[in-house]
Chain A
Amino acid sequence: MNRMVLLAAFLISLLMGGSAWAQTPPSPTARGEYLARAGDCVACHSTPGGKAFAGGLKMGTPLGAIYATNITPDIETGIGTYTEQEFDRAVRRGVAKDGRRLYPAMPYPSYAKLSDDDVQVLYEYFMRAVPPAHQVNQPSEIPTLLKPRWPMAVWNAVFVGGGNGFTSDPQHDAAWNRGAYLVEGPGHCGACHTARGIAYEEKALDRSSLAFLAGANLDGWYAPSLRQNRATGLGGWSKEDIVAFLKTGHNKHGSAYGSMRDVINNSTPYLTDEDLNDIAVYLTSLPATVEEKAPVYDDATATALAEGSSDPGAAVYAGQCQSCHKETGGAAPPFLPALAGNPTVLDRDASSLINIVLNGSAPLMAKGAPSPYRMPQYRAQLSNQQVAEVVSFIRSGWGNNAPRVSAGDVATLRKSTDPASDQPVILRMR
């Protein structure tokens, strides 16, 4: 009888914990690969169509353009000769093997928070699992006079401090702390979503400041606030909304654009549901910077569009936008983003909205599946005046109450994002 009970208990434990029994714990290289996903190393350390981690991506800095380096384990051109200590020093302190200081385009101020264990598995992954690629690093285009790297040591002392690791907060539970670690550390969300100061430093590197993840303008895009601002931040998003967005690039509130596309295409959809949930737990704990009214839908705009409106912006909307985004401004979320109440539409900084009207959106490929829906570009069809009118119409329609934009704002972005110009926009460091 006793044996029967034991056997039954054993069988039940097999059923309940079947997955845990069947799976061996992930190898260090597998854990390192997961971390490389979380950090989205590939987004900057490769070029489109190029070999993974072989470097070569051009980035603008205030001093001149620099190129991401080869971080494959190639002996001659990559990091094949790096010891674990040297790798650690580059990742967490921004110092290359030869003692050269890295520019903070490499987000080592965030990576300083990585745990010893995570740096170790990351090293294992890069050394043992990444195929070496022979690709010589391109020299920077920074003028010779400004080339010495020692000022970076001063910059580090002032802005990064001692490169303190992540300290967990006992006031919060394990899920919150894991989320904080992922966001502030490997995820380096602040590289885009936190504004930069006069010396190009991120104004805050963790939750201790209201500037952290409060939104920032870069590369002609505005990376929106991830704080609890009710209209322009994530104040109206549930944890499930955040998880859905990170998993697919879309949710009922909006779609990913700009550099967030790199994050969706290569990083967050590969994270576990637990980790995505923990990120959402942490993000929803960041207080709003200012108190905002939640947008209230007003159907007067839909009525005006149905009856024909004399607003020149409404005319452009009816001809170009309405067939997808609908007269209700509701579109077809999660696939096509609604314009009514969308944080990107409501932000004071209209860069993303103008940019997406001019240049459209590049394809989202969550886990390799391309989204069939893409914003087309209107660079050739609409004048600066027309873009300004339609963007202003969208920003004030359906209960949205964001300021108007001018034709001058559009002209500036049209010029800086012109793919045919001899000075195409290059990614700024992030």
Chain B
Amino acid sequence: MLIGKTDRVEFCGTMKYSVEINGAKRTVDIDGETPLLWVLRDTLDLKGTKFGCGAAQCGACTVHMNGHPIRACQTPIASVGDARITTIEAIGDSKVGKHVQEAWIELDVPQCGYCQAGQIMSATALLTRNPAPTDHDINVAMSGNVCRCATYTRIRAAIKHAAKAGSI
């Protein structure tokens, strides 16, 4: 290869990875450095999780790994191992996730909707860990999810609504 500041792209080999997505084992044959988001959307056709920035700056691609919110765009498939991955497609299967979805519908939270899958994933993780969050708790937990339409006040109200529904 000629020496220069910009070089051409070479591809590495692929490998089989078996990962648990929404309770089902899925096997993909792919380069281990591939981000989980690419595997979800392009390989497994789970397009509910959105690509926003590709740099863990916006939260649109948030999914759960063993219940914790993670950014799928910055998660190499090789690092998933036997962790449980949950995406927006299956969030309604959990009690808390269902309350969040219902609150979102009741309060008409989304505007354009692009970031909302990620918002719901972060909100569900928060309420699972902390069933009665304060405004401060909500600010901290949701600070990695940005919304271009600025639906933040409705998001906060919906989280409180879901918390109330969960406590009944």
Contacts and interface: CB of A to CB of B under 8 A. Distances in A.
B55 A374 contact: yes
B78 A368 contact: no
B150 interface: no
Interface string B79-115: 1000000000000000000000000000000000000
Given A42-B3, A52-B5, A373-B74, A323 B79 contact: no
B70 A368 contact: no
B2 interface: yes
A162 interface: no
A210 interface: no
B8 A266 contact: no
A319 B144 contact: yes
Interface class of chain B by DSSP: loop
A108 to B, nearest CB: 20
B7 A324 contact: no
A336 B143 CA distance: 21
Contacts of B130: 308
A319 B3 contact: no
B4 to A, nearest CB: 4
A171 B7 CA distance: 41
A197 interface: no
Nearest to B38: A372
Nearest to B67: A306
A58 to B, nearest CB: 15
Nearest to B59: A323
Interface of A: 33, 36-37, 42, 46-53, 265-266, 270, 306, 308, 315, 318-320, 322-324, 326-327, 332, 335-336, 360, 365, 367-374, 376
Interface of B: 1-12, 33-35, 53-57, 59, 62, 68-71, 73-76, 78-79, 129-130, 137, 140-144
Given A332-B78, A367-B7, A374-B55, 11 more contacts: A42-B3, A46-B4, A49-B5, A52-B2, A308-B130, A326-B68, A336-B76, A368-B1, A368-B9, A373-B76, A376-B56
